[in-house]
Amino acid sequence: MNTKVWEITSEDVNAPLTEETIEKLDEIKLAFEYGEIIAIPTETVYGLGANAKDPEAIIKIFQAKNRPGDNPLIVHVHSYEQVESFTSYIDDKVKKLMDTFWPGPISFILPLKDGVIASNTVAEMDSVAVRMPSHPVARKILEYTNIPIAAPSANLSGKPSPTDAEHVIHDLNGRIFGVVVSEKSEIGLESTVLDCTQFPYKVARPGHISIEELQDVLKEEILEHKDTMERPISPGMKYKHYAPRQPMSVVEGGINSNTRLCVPEGIKKNKVGVIAPETVRQYIDKDMQFTSLCRDEGSYREAAKNLYAALRHMDASDVEIIYIYGFKQNSETEALMNRIYKATGSTIIKG
Ligand code: TXA
Ligand code: MG
């Protein structure tokens, strides 16, 4: 299959649409209606989209990604009417959170209404995760097609999510119908997933919107995500994720002039990779391969935006082991550190 490429920038859709852009949107709409799968930009990561009502199209997503069939997809919408069309109940508290954070990087798990969304979209579950993205191009495509679009991250299963169209093409070229090329994803980590099917609400996957921000709006307790929970409420959280091919360890407590990164026997120093803030470069042996994640130890947002690109860069390099900087744990680094721990398989060393 020759993967088609459309370039649409935020600028293209923020201004009155040109004929050229309308032509692209028409092609994309038609392809979704015909059951094709297309990668689209969002503010968190690029998603691999398909008509959420079309079981054949959804099968193509699982196949292209090599995704286990028991891992449900997030359905993307542009309006509340769409959400109401396929969920059976939206509590006032959920509405309040939607009004505050949508469009944006949070998905709500809600009870599913029967018979609208294809059952394989939600992996045969009786709930559905819904998100209204804020990326102007994603919004325009959702509006223009007026189809609820199921979209997991547009990477091969197990690999870091794509924050740049280049990552999508690297993983899925020839496996998908098309890709909409746009800017790099601004946030760089997947959405917060909040399970609203039972009280108190529970974070199934931490993301850019923190538990504190949610609690501030609701004035109520929200349960934290725990990896050790017996039954993962988000099936996706039980799989190894976001990982480069090499073994990777997180250096807890950060890296400073006292840190000695160990070079295991049989590995040359120049085959050791280090991912850390730029300010840490001075402490790293010149022979090791350093990848800068952000300006300094406090540039969390920049680190989140660059994390997956850094993991992919290391994956493609000739390094044989990787050390990654462990940021201070706080509400702002919750999602960032969650992804770093997932990518390392929780191999921790103390800096
Ligand atoms: O930011 C994002 O959320 C991106 C963009 C494209 O929107 N999407 C994304 O999708 O990260 P995906 O499929 O890579 O991750 C979805 C997560 C998985 O952990 C999945 O198990 C969980 O959400 N999930 C989806 N529907 C669910 C449901 N009904 N119940 C529990 N967990 C659900
Ligand atoms: Mg994913």
- The pLDDT tens digits for 135-157 are 999 999 999 999 999 999 999 99
Residue 346's pLDDT band (cuts 50, 70, 90): low
Whether pTM exceeds 0.85 = yes
- Pocket of ligand 1 contains residue 122 by CB under 6 Å: yes
Distance CA 296, CA 75 (A): 36
Average pLDDT over residues 202-225: 95
Q: 241 pLDDT band (50/70/90 cuts)?
A: low
Q: Whose CA is nearest to atom 15 of ligand 1?
A: 152
First to last CA, the chain: 47
Q: Is the pLDDT of residue 240 over 70?
A: no
Is the CB of 85 within 6 Å of ligand 1? no
Residue 223: DSSP 8-state: B
What average pLDDT does the chain have?
Answer: 94
For strands 248-252 and 74-76, give the pairing. unpaired
Cite the beta strand spans of the chain per DSSP E: 4-7, 38-40, 47-51, 74-76, 106-111, 127-131, 149-150, 178-181, 192-195, 202-205, 248-252, 272-276, 289-292, 321-325, 348-350
Q: Which of 70, 73, 139 to mutate to test the pocket of ligand 1 (most atoms within 8 A of CB)?
A: 73
Ligand nearest to the CA of residue 206, numbered in listed order: 1
Instruction: Say yes or no to pLDDT of 350 above 80.
Output: no
Does residue 73 have its Cβ closer than 6 Å to ligand 1? yes
State the pLDDT at residue 231. 46
- How far does residue 185's CA lie from ligand 2's centre (Å)? 14
Burial environment of residue 262 by CB neighbours within 10 A (0 to 12, 13 to 18, 19 or more): exposed
* Residues contacting 30, CB < 8 A, separation 6+: none
Q: Which of 284, 244, 282, 279 is nearest to 261 (CA)?
A: 284
Q: Is 148 in the pocket of ligand 1 (CB under 6 A)?
A: no
Angle at 127 between CA 126 and CA 131, to 5 degrees: 155
For the segment 245-262, what is each residue's pLDDT rounded down to a tens digit? 999 999 999 898 888 898
Residue 41: asked if its preceding bond is cis (omega within 30°), the reply is: no
Residue 28 has pLDDT above 50, yes or no: yes
Integer CA distances (angstroms), 78 to 75, 145, 197, in order:
10, 10, 22
